[in-house]
Structure 1
């Protein structure tokens, strides 16, 4: 079994992106669990709700599940899985991109989906 940590998964310019997301997730409550896999970091409660996946040396894909469909200019894709699950994908290149998502309250919305709280 290969053990991956933040330093290995998010080197260089990606470190600041990971740090910004990690700080936001930590602020959502003590029930939020961070888990690293070989290709991404995920955050969950009753179920996983947010993922960060490196896609190059300077950008990552932020994926969030939410109850409802949301739109913004920076959203790359919204995938409707069923009537109560919409997966949102955002390409992030800087910590400011993470903050743009946070400003809309989407991390709280995503965490509510993960907690199974409508």
Structure 2
């Protein structure tokens, strides 16, 4: 009886993991399609902190008078003025015309440090 319960639990865990990966891939693909029709604006990095063996960052940008928050994950980097993660600095932000809350920040020469992380908005 115990072996059957363990096997059932294994199937449930695997099913949940497959579901989570599928949702992540779907959202990532959907966001990339929406970003094909985009506009540019300026955004400011507002947070840069260590999380999950990497650095998590937030940036704010405004579209049609409404403030939006985007996120990205990166390895550690500094701007020439030694600000961690270029905190407080402005960069171009590409946002979807159809859904402005979907965006991607262009860190210019620091893009090499950035890993894409879909937002959960």
Q: TM-score range by the shorter chain?
A: under 0.3
Structure with more of its chain in strand, by fraction:
2
Q: TM-score, normalised by structure 2?
A: 0.25
Of structures 1 and 2, the larger Rg is shown by 2
